């Protein structure tokens, strides 16, 4: 049975989307996709529009990507929405971003429920407006029982701060008699990260062509496959997600090891 059926009538017969979907191996989907959504400002500038217009257009890309990922069968999708450094932007832009987030959550609750998506956030709650926090809590509460894709929004997030906070918590635990700091493992650190209930991303997507990770999931992307596209985030759609997944499926993930064939050759050579 073709995985096109998962999209019902949403994909037009003979379209590029349908062609790409037929090329995707449903048995080798990335379990967790993380996306750095970049290019809203440039999208607006190219149209002589204010940056806020780019952010609003970016919300449409979020909607399309979330729905496509859920219907495709992706288990975890994490979106980088607002970093701790973004507070340095003009107040008008920050207020507009927060307003768009509230609007998106209010409007998309029904869609999240329909697609069986569970919503959560990672990052610091401190500093967020009360109205934003209320919408986030509502979205978490109303989708908490959903069993499909987990949609995580990184909000007021910093990868370095996340690691620092994990180390601080471990340091406090080491004050407990009987806890030996020399026994701290990578697993201990992972269990104190914001993402302790998430697997590491298999695929990290960055839009707008920028070749950097921007303080996003620094611990978690150690072995993620990275895919960079020149497409600006407001223009990112289902077809671009399919392209990223197809590129991911072309790669061989070795986690620092060598190919099985190469490993066998090395072993044989060492035995001579």
The domains of the chain are located at 30-271
Q: Return the SS3 of 83.
A: strand
Catalytic amino acids?
38, 86
pLDDT confidence band for 237 (50 / 70 / 90): very high
In the numeric block, which tokens belong to residue 54? 């780019």
Asked if CATH classification 3.40.1180.10 holds for the domain at 30-271, the reply, yes or no, is yes
Neighbours of 208 (CB within 10 A): 21
From 7-16, 186-195, 214-223, 263-272, the region with the lowest mean pLDDT: 263-272
For residue 5, CA distances in Å to 1, 13, 25, 120, 242 come to 8, 11, 14, 28, 15
- Say which residue, 87 or 264, is predicted with more confidence: 87
- Predicted local distance difference test score (pLDDT) of residue 8: 54
Q: Is the pLDDT of residue 57 over 90?
A: yes
Confidence of residue 268 (pLDDT cuts 50, 70, 90): low
Greater model confidence, 264 or 92: 92
The reported pTM is 0.91
């Amino acid at each position: 049975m073709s995985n096109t059926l998962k999209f019902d009538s949403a994909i037009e017969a003979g379209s590029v989307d349908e062609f790409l979907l037929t090329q995707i191996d449903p048995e080798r989907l990335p379990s967790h996709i993380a996306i750095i959504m970049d290019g809203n400002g440039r999208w607006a500038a190219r149209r002589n529009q204010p940056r806020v217009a780019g952010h609003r257009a970016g919300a449409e890309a979020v909607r399309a990507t979330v729905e496509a990922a859920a219907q495709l069968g992706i288990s975890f999708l994490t979106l980088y929405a607002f970093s701790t450094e973004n507070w340095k932007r003009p107040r008008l832009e920050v207020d507009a971003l927060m307003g768009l987030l509230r609007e998106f959550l209010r409007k998309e609750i029904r869609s999240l429920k329909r697609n069986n998506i569970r919503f959560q956030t990672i990052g610091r709650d401190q500093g967020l407006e009360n109205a934003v926090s209320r919408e986030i809590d509502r979205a978490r509460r109303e989708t908490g029982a959903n069993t499909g894709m987990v949609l995580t929004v990184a909000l007021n997030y910093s990868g370095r701060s996340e690691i620092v906070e994990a180390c601080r918590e471990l340091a406090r635990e080491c004050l407990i008699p009987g806890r030996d700091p020399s026994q701290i493992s990578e697993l201990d650190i992972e269990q104190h990260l914001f993402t302790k209930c998430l697997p590491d991303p298999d695929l990290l997507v960055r839009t707008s062509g920028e070749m950097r990770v921007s303080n996003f999931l620094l611990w978690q992307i150690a072995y993620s496959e990275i895919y960079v596209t020149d497409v600006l985030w407001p223009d990112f759609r289902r077809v671009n997600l399919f392209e990223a997944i197809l590129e991911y499926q072309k790669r061989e993930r070795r986690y620092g090891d060598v190919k099985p064939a190469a490993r066998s050759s090395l072993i044989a050579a060492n035995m001579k």
